[in-house]
Chain A
């Protein structure tokens, strides 16, 4: 008990000790670029930051002309250049401004093949068409008038908002790409002249932040992700979401140099979340389970429906989180389906996460989500996603993985067809897990930081392989699985006591012919799960048909509702996208 009191004081102290204000945090992030004085420069980002600060306009003009002489980057080029146009406000030279105008005729950005690409492309096209409202088709790379470009962009942006508020985001909860959604919406909220577009964007900013708030632990974006990069997968602090957690809520620690997505967010709306979102993001006084329904990426082939549902469960408490989706190939290449992530006072450099996966590398997966021809596709992918076709990869979902979660217990089953490339499962055992104990019962017990105990029961034999400073559990069996149970360290007197409690839980399983688990969790729930069948909790099949768009103590939204209600104590706030109203 004394330990628990001490911990709560420590957390309270950390949360309140000299955390700068939102404005101070924002200023520091902008100044990191505006006042950069190291070797070289940050190109467009430095220009934009200095224009925001109304500093060194001559340098900005000269540098801008230099960069515009050879534009590159497609939709990722559009966003800095759009920001510069709006931040100019009379500071740039005529010559620089003419270059800016000319390049929208001579350079054709590729629109891309993901929703984040499209949102960047169309938000920037909308704003630049608004910027030059009377420009004719001869003035634009695509041969359309400003009016036509604006209308096309408006239609896509509105359709994306509607799809997101009815069926969830397609590139959901990405610790990296969240920035690529926030940035263009921040632009529209700040710079759109049409009050309807502006209002919708301002509401959408709240919506996107609300999507993050209950799924963060100390500012780390936890739970299942549509897309994540390896460096942030193992070191949860090390990515874009960290900057936003710090900016919005003062949580965690920002990156050494803020990601340029957060910079551009600040250069436009610099939207500060309302108080209710601050409460939701920071109050971890009681454990809770948060539910979300999201959407798969466009499935061009092999499915009857363009999008399929993603069912997310995220259990969060002060000490740790357990998050998952239902498994399957929901997104190509960078899907992350489940993990346990534990609290550490300072997550910089710490690999505070634990998970398994099947290293799925499949032409069929690529052809589902991309229009690639079959040959050369995998070699094309590994140009930028290096580990995709590697047997030791720990990133990516699998068509042969199915998951069920109840609170902080989770079962992942694998049924891998014979002949599948990489017929094994990998478990990531971080360098920062302590006291890893392989019990004779088959359970593995371990401690994450000072806060969390984790038990995991691989269903098949395994070996250990080195994985950088960490290690990888390697289990080369086609029918396989793992049972995971987490608990707060302060619930037990020791890891051994935790282990004893876990071993006392009833667990039955078989792997052949089909993986199957029956497990009574630490919280008393009977989890029955057979691969390929609907899981049962306490005898009842999970009702996926009524899974909410958002559900839990803080966020509520029904599928197709176009609204989101946030609740915290007596506070309540509803975003209604049908009527574009906010009600407190």
Chain B
């Protein structure tokens, strides 16, 4: 009985509070200037999707303020937005000097510090977006697709761009190549269980893993070579389970911490996946966004899939918000 109570207490905060937020485009018949079907930020509330805030075609990543999770940060074509009040109240935090943002990462230990990756560099604010500093001046090529702050070491920033994975130990003042040199990085994620475990996906060169706190990334050589891997999700309920999403592999799952991978696409309309995420509230539940087919969900870690709404859309990124 005591064990059951303990389990209940353990699961209560996550189960009661986590909401899946996605940034999605309904892009099937859209070109710039055309009528835009509902696109932007959607919250999954009891299995139903609610569109919040503005209709926007190019919101490609989101994060939240750990001090106030009802405040989201959105990386968009127009710039970085703060979407307060559960995504309803938007303020543009950037000006004309940045465009076509690619990623955003809030420092979990210092919510005033926010990084974003964009078409021509990386920027940081230390005052919640009032002022910004460019961090890419010393990089050979500035295009940056992915950025993450190390949750265990806030001065450590890991970025991915046109020429590989780079790491900074001083908050972005200086950069060192960390791996995947010469390859376009598509996504970087840090393990929620083991802070020194990182993964990076690439365009065409497969998966790269770091086991030394992002100092070095080595090609795993086991998945996605010759294809493009767009998404990484570590299962918060199972430290050995990891999911990748990509075009071609669809959803690939590892049950042994990345040693082996299995494509699990049964029930998906096509194996072209933009984003995947494990549900921290339900062990074994995983969501996937399939190219212009909408959301799919699996309750058995990808063995079988069923539709989960947002038909016709592409969800570029998903995040569970506490």
Could you tell me which A residues sit within 8 Å of B by CB distance? 72-76, 107-108, 110-113, 117-118, 122, 137, 141-144, 152-153, 155-156, 159, 298, 300-302, 304, 306, 367, 371, 373-376, 380, 383-384
Nearest to A372 among chain B residues (CB) is B100
CA distance A232 to B307 in the complex (A): 45
Structural contact, A108 and B56, CB atoms closer than 8 A = yes
Structural contact, B141 and A142, CB atoms closer than 8 A = no
CA distance A118 to B119 in the complex (A): 15
Is B36 part of the contact surface with A, judged by Cβ < 8 Å? yes
Given contacts A142-B92, A143-B91, A374-B203, contact A110 B32 (CB under 8 A): yes
Q: Which residues of A contact B143 (CB under 8 A)?
A: 300-301, 371
Q: How far is the CB of A157 from chain B (nearest CB, A)?
A: 9
Nearest to A117 among chain B residues (CB) is B32
CA distance A357 to B2 in the complex (A): 77
Given contacts A111-B99, A383-B29, contact A371 B119 (CB under 8 A): yes
Q: Which residues of A contact B267 (CB under 8 A)?
A: none
21 CB contacts below 8 A, A to B, read A73-B33, A73-B35, A74-B32, A108-B54, A110-B58, A110-B77, A111-B99, A113-B32, A113-B77, A113-B99, A152-B95, A159-B96, A298-B119, A298-B120, A300-B143, A306-B120, A373-B228, A373-B230, A374-B203, A375-B247, A380-B27
Structural contact, B141 and A383, CB atoms closer than 8 A = no
Q: Which residues of A contact B162 (CB under 8 A)?
A: 301-302
Nearest to A108 among chain B residues (CB) is B54
CA distance A382 to B55 in the complex (A): 24
Given contacts A113-B77, A113-B100, A304-B141, contact A376 B29 (CB under 8 A): no
Structural contact, B55 and A108, CB atoms closer than 8 A = yes
Could you tell me which B residues sit within 8 Å of A by CB distance? 27, 29-36, 54-58, 77-79, 89-92, 95-96, 99-100, 102, 119-120, 140-141, 143, 162, 184, 186, 203-204, 228, 230, 247, 272, 274, 291
Structural contact, A110 and B141, CB atoms closer than 8 A = no
Q: How far is the CB of B274 from chain A (nearest CB, A)?
A: 8
Nearest to A151 among chain B residues (CB) is B95
Structural contact, A383 and B31, CB atoms closer than 8 A = yes
CA distance A156 to B162 in the complex (A): 27
Nearest to A306 among chain B residues (CB) is B120
What are the nearest 10 A-B pairs in CB distance?
Answer: A143-B91, A156-B96, A142-B92, A375-B247, A108-B54, A384-B31, A72-B35, A76-B33, A371-B100, A111-B78
Q: Which residues of B contact A141 (CB under 8 A)?
A: 54, 90
CA distance A519 to B27 in the complex (A): 51
Q: Which residues of A contact B32 (CB under 8 A)?
A: 74, 110, 112-113, 117
Q: Which residues of A contact B119 (CB under 8 A)?
A: 298, 300, 371
CA distance A159 to B95 in the complex (A): 13
CA distance A107 to B96 in the complex (A): 19
Q: How far is the CB of A362 from chain B (nearest CB, A)?
A: 14
Structural contact, B92 and A143, CB atoms closer than 8 A = yes
Q: How far is the CB of A444 from chain B (nearest CB, A)?
A: 39
Which one, B36, B92, B96, B247, contacts A118 given CB within 8 A? B96
Knowing that A108-B56, A155-B96, A371-B102 are A-B contacts, what are 7 other residue pairs whose CB atoms are under 8 Å apart, sorted by A's residue number?
A: A108-B78, A110-B58, A141-B90, A300-B120, A304-B140, A306-B120, A375-B228
Q: Which residues of A contact B54 (CB under 8 A)?
A: 107-108, 141
CA distance A371 to B186 in the complex (A): 11
Q: How far is the CB of B291 from chain A (nearest CB, A)?
A: 6
Q: How far is the CB of A81 from chain B (nearest CB, A)?
A: 14
Structural contact, B291 and A376, CB atoms closer than 8 A = yes
CA distance A156 to B140 in the complex (A): 26
CA distance A153 to B57 in the complex (A): 22
CA distance A122 to B95 in the complex (A): 11
CA distance A113 to B31 in the complex (A): 12
Given contacts A122-B96, A155-B96, A371-B102, contact A137 B29 (CB under 8 A): no
Q: How far is the CB of A367 from chain B (nearest CB, A)?
A: 8
Q: Which residues of B contact A73 (CB under 8 A)?
A: 33-35
Nearest to B140 among chain A residues (CB) is A304
Q: Which residues of A contact B79 (CB under 8 A)?
A: 111
CA distance A118 to B95 in the complex (A): 12
CA distance A144 to B95 in the complex (A): 10
Nearest to A363 among chain B residues (CB) is B203
Residue among A298, A300, A306 with the highest chain B CB neighbour number at 10 A: A300
CA distance A141 to B31 in the complex (A): 21
Q: Which residues of B contact A113 (CB under 8 A)?
A: 32, 77, 99-100
Q: Which residues of B contact A156 (CB under 8 A)?
A: 96
Nearest to A70 among chain B residues (CB) is B35
Nearest to B29 among chain A residues (CB) is A383
Nearest to A148 among chain B residues (CB) is B95
Q: How far is the CB of B275 from chain A (nearest CB, A)?
A: 11
CA distance A75 to B58 in the complex (A): 14
Nearest to B227 among chain A residues (CB) is A375
CA distance A73 to B96 in the complex (A): 20
Residue among B56, B90, B92, B120 with the highest chain A CB neighbour number at 10 A: B92
CA distance A152 to B95 in the complex (A): 6
CA distance A108 to B143 in the complex (A): 26
Which one, B96, B100, B120, B272, contacts A375 given CB within 8 A? B272
Structural contact, A155 and B36, CB atoms closer than 8 A = no
CA distance A107 to B40 in the complex (A): 13
Q: Which residues of B contact A367 (CB under 8 A)?
A: 184
Q: How far is the CB of A480 from chain B (nearest CB, A)?
A: 29
Q: How far is the CB of A565 from chain B (nearest CB, A)?
A: 30
CA distance A143 to B186 in the complex (A): 31
CA distance A244 to B36 in the complex (A): 31
CA distance A376 to B272 in the complex (A): 10
Residue among B35, B100, B272, B291 with the highest chain A CB neighbour number at 10 A: B100
Nearest to B274 among chain A residues (CB) is A373
CA distance A73 to B56 in the complex (A): 11
Given contacts A118-B96, A155-B95, A383-B31, contact A110 B186 (CB under 8 A): no
Nearest to B35 among chain A residues (CB) is A72
Q: How far is the CB of B31 from chain A (nearest CB, A)?
A: 4
Q: Which residues of B contact A298 (CB under 8 A)?
A: 119-120
Q: Which residues of B contact A108 (CB under 8 A)?
A: 54-56, 78, 90
Nearest to B94 among chain A residues (CB) is A152
Q: Which residues of B contact A122 (CB under 8 A)?
A: 96
Q: Which residues of A contact B291 (CB under 8 A)?
A: 375-376
Nearest to A77 among chain B residues (CB) is B33
Structural contact, B92 and A144, CB atoms closer than 8 A = yes
Which one, A72, A143, A144, A301, contacts B141 given CB within 8 A? A301
Q: How far is the CB of A111 from chain B (nearest CB, A)?
A: 5
Given contacts A301-B141, A302-B162, contact A72 B120 (CB under 8 A): no
CA distance A73 to B247 in the complex (A): 31
Nearest to B100 among chain A residues (CB) is A371
Q: Which residues of A contact B100 (CB under 8 A)?
A: 113, 300, 371
Q: How far is the CB of A214 from chain B (nearest CB, A)?
A: 31
Q: Which residues of A contact B30 (CB under 8 A)?
A: 383
Structural contact, B36 and A72, CB atoms closer than 8 A = yes
CA distance A488 to B120 in the complex (A): 48
Q: Which residues of B contact A111 (CB under 8 A)?
A: 77-79, 99
Q: Which residues of B contact A76 (CB under 8 A)?
A: 33
CA distance A304 to B203 in the complex (A): 20
Q: How far is the CB of A161 from chain B (nearest CB, A)?
A: 13
Nearest to A122 among chain B residues (CB) is B96
CA distance A159 to B97 in the complex (A): 10
CA distance A73 to B256 in the complex (A): 49
CA distance A584 to B235 in the complex (A): 72
Q: How far is the CB of A50 from chain B (nearest CB, A)?
A: 24
Q: How far is the CB of B144 from chain A (nearest CB, A)?
A: 10
Nearest to A303 among chain B residues (CB) is B141
